[in-house]
Amino acid sequence: MIEEPARLLGGIEAGGTKINVAVGATATDILASARLNTTTPEATITSILAFFEPYRSRLRGFGVASFGPIRINRAAPDWGRLLATPKPGWSGASFVDPLASAFGLPVGLDTDVNAAALAEHLLGALRGLPSGAFLTVGTGIGGGFVAGGALIHGMLHPEVGHVRVLRLLPDDDNFPGCCPFHGDCLEGLAAGPAIQRRWGASLSELPHHHVAHHLIADYLGQACATLALTLSVGRIVVGGGVSQAPGFHAAIAARMRHWLGGYLTDAGVLEDTFVSPPGLGDRAGLIGALQLAQQVMSDTLGAL
């Protein structure tokens, strides 16, 4: 008897500068993967479809973990479409429609940070905790949250990067921020492009004593204090390219405690590990995308 080839999941982690794609038997048993550049919607989606084409006969479903803002409510008429995004040309674009049209398979969708939060909850640094947060600090800043084993959604999805932060440190200057919507919101001050525009280098390239390290830690410390107070999360995982700077997580944890002002005294919050790097490294988003594919396949089979 000839065994049927194993069914495969397709995963897409779509970021502002790069797209990670993969096929796997499970979320962690990855057969093949590739990194593509995020250029125009047409060129990028063509490259994504070309990657999956050789696996057409074995694919059973896709998971898309996308940068936002994006409509993730399946009941909405614009489900799967990006909303007003700072990335030129991408407002109104969709990863979901081309995949569904080309392959005729179910597609699961969430934000890239929600997918990473799911992966870290099931397999990484948030495993075993009743609640947790995942922040990514890279081309943009986003947040994903898990509570009671489920991702948190609402009217849209969490948009942590666009909350306002205070600028009270004496060595802060008059940099206006680079968010086209809000200027000096969290993303406008602490994301990679803001750091590059303000100081001409990435955070990792600047010496440890440079004022940038203190300011970025303070902005993100404020955000983490807000999350600890409003969502009572058990841990905050911080990933993304900016997070690779030495001492990054401990510095954020220290500024978070400063802004909490002694109000929360649980042992976990008082430890530097309360703000931690991803347990899955830079694969959290892609593993989460494959988990979204696994979920949508299960939902589809359950509906039959």
Q: Over the stretch 1-40, which tens digit does the pLDDT of each residue have? A: 444 457 999 999 998 889 999 999 999 999 999 999 999 9
- Tell me, what's the pLDDT at 84? 87
- Of 13-17, 68-72, 233-237, 267-271, the poorest mean pLDDT is in 267-271
The whole-angstrom separation of Cα 147 and Cα 216 is: 27
CA distance linking residue 244 with residue 164, whole number of Å: 24
pLDDT of residue 3: 45
Q: For the domain 8-112+282-303, what is the CATH code?
A: 3.30.420.40
Beta-strand (E) ranges in 25-90? 30-37, 59-66
* 166-209 per-position pLDDT tens digit: 999 999 999 999 998 999 999 999 999 999 999 999 999 999 99
Longest dimension (CA), the chain: 75
For 163, residues 6+ apart whose C-beta sits below 8 A from its C-beta are 185, 186, 223, 226
Burial class (CB in 10 A: 0-12, 13-18, 19+), 198: middle
- Average pLDDT of span 126-140: 94
Question: Which pLDDT belongs to residue 188?
Answer: 97
Residue 260 dihedral angles phi and psi, to the nearest 5°: -70, -25
Compute CA 64 distance to the chain's CA centroid, rounded to the nearest angstrom.
Answer: 12
Q: Would you tell me how many other CB atoms lie within 10 Å of the CB of residue 123?
A: 18
> Where does the chain hold its CATH 3.30.420.40 domain(s)?
8-112+282-303, 125-277
Could you tell me the CA-to-CA distances from 72 to 47, 111, 158, 212 in Å, in that order? Answer: 23, 8, 11, 35
Distance CA 103, CA 106 (A): 9
179 and 86 Cβ atoms separated by less than 8 Å: yes
Give the pair of three-digit tokens for residue 113: 């940070």
What is residue 299's predicted lDDT score, i.e. its pLDDT?
75
Tell which CATH architecture fits domain 125-277. Answer: 2-Layer Sandwich (3.30)
> Is 165's pLDDT higher than 90?
yes
pLDDT of residue 14: 94
**0.85 exceeded by pTM:** yes
- Does the pLDDT at position 92 exceed 60? yes
